Structure 1
Amino acid sequence: MAGHNDSETSGSDQGNSGLGSLFAFLIRDGNLMRSPVLAYAVLASVTRSGMIYAINTLAGAAAIATGDVLLLLAAIASTLTFSHLARVASFRLVETTKRRLRTELSRRLLDARADFLSRRDHGKVYSIVTHEVNQISYASVNFIQSLEAALVIAFCIPYIFYLSWPSGVATLGAVVIGAIGYLLAQTPAQASAERASRTEWTFFDRVNDVLRGYKELRLRRARRDGLQADIVDAASRERELKVTAERFFSLGQTVAQGAMMGLLCLIVVGLPLFAGTPTETVLQVLTVVLLTYGPVETVMGNLASFSRAAVARRLIAGLEKDLIAEAETDAATTGPAAPPARFSRIELRGVTATLSEAPPEGATAPADDERFTVGPLDLVLEPGEVVFISGGNGAGKSTLISLLTGLRRPEGGEILRDGQPVTPANLQDYRDLFSAVFSEFHLFSRLYGLDEAEQTKVPPHLAELDLAHRVRIENGAFSTLALSTGQKRRLALSVALAEARPIIVLDEFAADQDPVRRKLFYDVLVPQMARDGHLVIAVTHDEHCFDKCDRLIRMEAGRILADTRQPGAAHAMADAASGA
């Protein structure tokens, strides 16, 4: 399945998504080309090279010349100035890259299909949007530092060749040995780092279990201990993998440091003994090497962070690839949404959907006998009706609601609005017909999407639903969400009523309500919504209230067993309620 592919890294993937991909991203998409940081880095490396040259000139001169002193002071001042500017610009670049990546990923998440998000591992998404984004963002700073250091090295190696060609060969050899050591350590280090990141996803999932299941965890110590054991195991495996990755990174860096130390020994001891290099030249070469030792350390030290960032880039690219593949075709539409139009008829013709538990990573797809098919469903709905849907657990009620609201794509059949098929091109217009309070609903702290006129409708509904004494609207947000489950569900209904959409879907709304509020729901709210012209679709198990709807749909094993019409029932209740 597309949602569980997760762009797992294969050998070919790693070949295509290494440091080259990372650097291409940083240059092309990381705002490097639009930032002055590159210019500052180049200027800082040029002035640092000028400083090295000025020091050697003064050291080798018979007498100190004013011009050489001024050149050295100017080079030092310029190096410090440009380095400072580069650091500030680099920090700004980090935050810009982080903001862009996070907003881009959040936009793609918002644009993805609902059924794709429902089966997504949330721990993976949290980890990528936080930890992996941080890794790749800070790589831009390391890239600038390494670029500045590499330019200094590139300027100084020819100078060393000019001073003493044996020293130049030795310096070049040390750099090559250090690079080989890094390259040999990179592959196992990256593999361990990527496994550590994937293990961290499991850790985030378990933390999510703690936050969402805190009640159940406190009712059974064994359950709490079992979850804690899983958390400890995930954290321990992540630690071991990160230590292994760091061991390889450190090994590569140690090889580079050893090469540089060997170079220093060779310059101090080997050049005078074997090459007969004059002491003055040895000192000049040693000065250059010592002043470039810091840049070499910077480059070699940053290689490990580049490897981690390359892993992060690969994981981010994998998530982006899945999100792009699962994006809804109309998701790129921008601009204010038009108010939902009315409808005269919604029809489901032979609609089917197949449900199956997603297989774990690397496992095969479930067998046909492990799949559950809902449908084919044939249904016609019209404005002003009150439709109750009943059935046992697993009968397909929630899937029918997902199909009807356009949150799930049917695998067979079609949905028509006023005789026209609902397609990806007009899917959002179709969804805009609906307001809903799902069985597993999410209550936002702010009134997102509600215009000023709709927000003014919320307080009267709060009073009607007996919530005005607990919740207020302050600057477009609820004053509190510290409510019981039943109160939160009524709060969600107040928002749905304020939206005044043509269709209101309520999935097990009365299940969390006390008898007084349940009576209010069935005897007052539902008839009032029908009298206002809404199509009301309610999933309910309250058999004693089945006579309070216009139609009763019974489902079993994914099929509609009966669609019983009771003409005028809900409207008669509405009239009676208004008369009273």
Structure 2
Amino acid sequence: MILGRFLRQHYRTLAGAALLSCASAASTVALLSHINRLASAGMHGPASRPLLLGILWLACLLATNALSQLLLARLGGSLVAQLRTELSRRFVAMEYEKLADRKHAVFGSLIEDVAAIAPLALVAPLLAYNLLLAVLYASYLATVSIALLGTLLLFLGTSLAASLALERVMRDRLDELRQANEKVFEYFRFIGEGKKEMSLNAARARQFSDELMLPAIGRARGLMVRAHAGLGLNEAWSMAVMYGSVFLIVYLGYAAFAMRQDTIVRFVIGAVFLGGPVSFIVSAGRQVAVGAASLRHLERVGLDADVDADANVPRAARRRTFESWRTIRLQGVCYSYPGSAAAKPTVGPVDLEIARGETIFIVGGNGSGKSTLLLLLTSLLRPHAGTIYLDDTPIETDLRSYRERFTGVFGDFFLFPHVLDAAGNRLSDERIEQLLRVLDLDAQVEAHEGELSRLALSTGQRKRLALLQCYAEDRDIFFFDEWAADQDVHFRDHFYRTLLPALKAGGKTVVAISHDDRYFHMADRVIALDAGRVVRAPSRDAVAALSS
């Protein structure tokens, strides 16, 4: 578990904070004892002696508390940074399929869950301090009156039992609240991604606001009110029991136990001091409950499992299982998206073989499974049935090495500002500028230390920048999902008649989803899909005959 690893890693600092907390607790008890002696016995001898002794214990209390808080502040900063680093790394290493429909979970976890989990580590030394302080106070009160201490513990035990019962009830509410907040984060993402559409369509904006976002915020608000009201009532109940018990102690001390006034006064002073750590222990339950809900949420998202051990291995150290491959073969491959009707495969069964160096066009109507087949081919989606082979080896034997054969442009591609080669090094500005000229973008974009000066371009131009990234990686297989659809007539023709043949001449395998039937003869084969299945795979000559 993430939190457990942090605690083990920083156990020395935590132990130091706990020891300082113990010293602070001892100083507090010594100060309490000094105050009680002064209050019950009065001053004897020089007036400066009890004053100096009180100042000494106050100085010890201040010093130990201050050092403890400094250590905890340092721990807090380290924990937040480590949690963000760990969660970011886990999101990067997580399989695409797990995160494809839950992108909003990234932001929610990095923002809300980190803020909720961090106090769990910081509260541990403070809990230890307050528990020790409570035990020391109780031990001191035992020397004053066992009967009154028993009465006090009876009331505190009742309060603790009620608090534990309430926290068990609140667990489900906190889990619901975390899920409701995730839905709110999802709608916040809609604001950024759908702003253009909502700006042009006021009715759409109203519908989004009135029927989606505001109800989601309202539901989260209601759950937050109920959850935190319950936790707050728990604190109020505990506080009322604490002060009520002090009142009853005074009453019973006189009415039932016929105790002396100085004994009751000494006990009441000690009980008031005891109220501090007891109140903290109860209030810490709120932080623990909220943090535990965030930990459970991370488990549901799938972030509490170990990251792929190969994720951070340097590229040069990885196996090269598939360096000299000849064919990719899909055998009985099927895939169904979650929630598809009657678990009917979205794609498959598909039997297909692609030879190294081939140029393949995938065609078909909307919803025929073209993009899903491409995701399966790149292994970003894992088949629910069937197997993908590179030559005669299942790609699962070395998935990372298999994925390193591919570079390309997805339909929903993302542009990074830095241009990197396959090893992760920044491309030289001279090489980037050369590629910008090839892609007719040298007038719009410049390069500085491997970073592109501008990404806010038209969709077609942005796709050219995405292709530039592919050229920089220079891998075995180039794939394109409707890349030419947003290009002007001139550059579309340039893509099919110049760029794709150049890739083939360079020994690259090209897999392109396309609707441009006037260029089908440029492919070695055209793979047609209908309802997720291959319906024909005509030869290049057959396509040429059809297009002539």
TM-score, normalised with respect to structure 2: 0.89
Secondary structure in 1 matching 2:397 = coil
- Name 2:315's counterpart in structure 1: 336
Query: Of 363, 373, 379, which aligns to 1:390?
Result: 363
The answer on 1:304 being equivalent to 2:286 is yes
- Give the Cα–Cα distance (whole angstroms) in 2 for the partners of residues 204 and 54 of structure 1: 54
- Name 1:450's counterpart in structure 2: 424
- Name 1:502's counterpart in structure 2: 476
Identify if the C-alpha distance between structure 1 residues 124 and 406 changes in structure 2 by more than 3 Å, giving closer, same or farther. closer
Q: What is the letter of the counterpart of residue 126 of structure 1? A: F
The answer on 1:52 being equivalent to 2:32 is yes
Secondary structure in 1 matching 2:374 = helix
Query: Of 280, 303, 324, which aligns to 2:262?
Result: 280
1:407-446 residue pairs with structure 2 within 5 A?
407-417=380-390, 419-446=391-418
- Give the Cα–Cα distance (whole angstroms) in 2 for the partners of residues 197 and 290 of structure 1: 37
- Name 2:109's counterpart in structure 1: 128
- Give the Cα–Cα distance (whole angstroms) in 2 for the partners of residues 136 and 124 of structure 1: 16
Query: Of 506, 511, 532, which aligns to 1:532?
Result: 506
Aligned pairs, number: 535
Query: Of 107, 116, 130, which aligns to 1:149?
Result: 130
Bigger CA drift: 72-81 or 123-132?
123-132
Query: Of 262, 265, 286, which aligns to 2:247?
Result: 265
Residue 450 (structure 1) shift: 3.0
The CA RMSD measured in Å over matched residues stands at 2.8
1:84-483 residue pairs with structure 2 within 5 A?
84-119=66-101, 121-229=102-210, 230-320=212-302, 331-332=310-311, 334-337=313-316, 342-356=323-337, 358-359=338-339, 366-368=341-343, 370-383=344-357, 385-417=358-390, 419-447=391-419, 450-453=424-427, 457-483=431-457
The answer to whether the 8 A contact 1:507-1:539 is kept is yes
Secondary structure in 2 matching 1:533 = coil
Secondary structure in 2 matching 1:275 = coil
* 1:383-417 deviation digits (Å, cap 9, x = unpaired): 2x322222211222212212222222233443333
* 1:270-306 deviation digits (Å, cap 9, x = unpaired): 3234322222222222222223322222222222222
The answer on 1:488 being equivalent to 2:462 is yes
- Give the Cα–Cα distance (whole angstroms) in 1 for the partners of residues 437 and 94 of structure 2: 36
- Give the Cα–Cα distance (whole angstroms) in 1 for the partners of residues 488 and 394 of structure 2: 39
Residue 542 (structure 1) shift: 0.7
Residue 438 (structure 1) shift: 0.9
The answer to whether the 8 A contact 1:181-1:253 is kept is no
Secondary structure in 2 matching 1:389 = strand
Identify if the C-alpha distance between structure 1 residues 344 and 178 changes in structure 2 by more than 3 Å, giving closer, same or farther. closer
The answer to whether the 8 A contact 2:120-2:288 is kept is yes
Identify if the C-alpha distance between structure 1 residues 425 and 260 changes in structure 2 by more than 3 Å, giving closer, same or farther. same
Identify if the C-alpha distance between structure 1 residues 238 and 74 changes in structure 2 by more than 3 Å, giving closer, same or farther. same
Identify if the C-alpha distance between structure 1 residues 396 and 26 changes in structure 2 by more than 3 Å, giving closer, same or farther. closer
Identify if the C-alpha distance between structure 1 residues 454 and 549 changes in structure 2 by more than 3 Å, giving closer, same or farther. farther
- Give the Cα–Cα distance (whole angstroms) in 2 for the partners of residues 517 and 332 of structure 1: 38
Residue 454 (structure 1) shift: 6.4
- Give the Cα–Cα distance (whole angstroms) in 2 for the partners of residues 336 and 550 of structure 1: 33
Q: What is the letter of the counterpart of residue 43 of structure 1? A: A
* 1:33-71 deviation digits (Å, cap 9, x = unpaired): 543322222222122112212222333445156665544
- Give the Cα–Cα distance (whole angstroms) in 2 for the partners of residues 122 and 375 of structure 1: 29
Q: What is the letter of the counterpart of residue 80 of structure 2? A: K
- Give the Cα–Cα distance (whole angstroms) in 1 for the partners of residues 6 and 162 of structure 2: 26
The answer to whether the 8 A contact 1:26-1:140 is kept is no
Identify if the C-alpha distance between structure 1 residues 531 and 265 changes in structure 2 by more than 3 Å, giving closer, same or farther. same
The answer to whether the 8 A contact 1:163-1:281 is kept is yes
Unaligned ranges ≥5, structure 2: none
The answer to whether the 8 A contact 1:355-1:373 is kept is yes
Identify if the C-alpha distance between structure 1 residues 29 and 508 changes in structure 2 by more than 3 Å, giving closer, same or farther. farther
The answer to whether the 8 A contact 2:389-2:395 is kept is no
- Name 1:565's counterpart in structure 2: 539
Secondary structure in 2 matching 1:367 = helix
Residue 508 (structure 1) shift: 0.7
Q: What is the letter of the counterpart of residue 47 of structure 1? A: S
Secondary structure in 1 matching 2:354 = strand
- Give the Cα–Cα distance (whole angstroms) in 1 for the partners of residues 464 and 218 of structure 2: 43
The answer to whether the 8 A contact 1:342-1:502 is kept is no
Identify if the C-alpha distance between structure 1 residues 549 and 260 changes in structure 2 by more than 3 Å, giving closer, same or farther. same
Q: What is the letter of the counterpart of residue 53 of structure 1? A: S
Secondary structure in 1 matching 2:363 = strand
- Give the Cα–Cα distance (whole angstroms) in 1 for the partners of residues 281 and 305 of structure 2: 35
Residue 228 (structure 1) shift: 0.7
- Name 1:82's counterpart in structure 2: 64
Identify if the C-alpha distance between structure 1 residues 272 and 307 changes in structure 2 by more than 3 Å, giving closer, same or farther. same
- Give the Cα–Cα distance (whole angstroms) in 1 for the partners of residues 392 and 85 of structure 2: 35
Identify if the C-alpha distance between structure 1 residues 232 and 166 changes in structure 2 by more than 3 Å, giving closer, same or farther. same
Residue 378 (structure 1) shift: 1.9
- Give the Cα–Cα distance (whole angstroms) in 2 for the partners of residues 250 and 322 of structure 1: 30
- Give the Cα–Cα distance (whole angstroms) in 1 for the partners of residues 424 and 303 of structure 2: 32
* 1:227-259 deviation digits (Å, cap 9, x = unpaired): 112111111111111111122212221221111
Identify if the C-alpha distance between structure 1 residues 64 and 378 changes in structure 2 by more than 3 Å, giving closer, same or farther. farther
Q: Identity, % of aligned pairs? A: 25
- Give the Cα–Cα distance (whole angstroms) in 2 for the partners of residues 371 and 344 of structure 1: 29
- Give the Cα–Cα distance (whole angstroms) in 2 for the partners of residues 201 and 354 of structure 1: 27
- Give the Cα–Cα distance (whole angstroms) in 1 for the partners of residues 5 and 282 of structure 2: 19
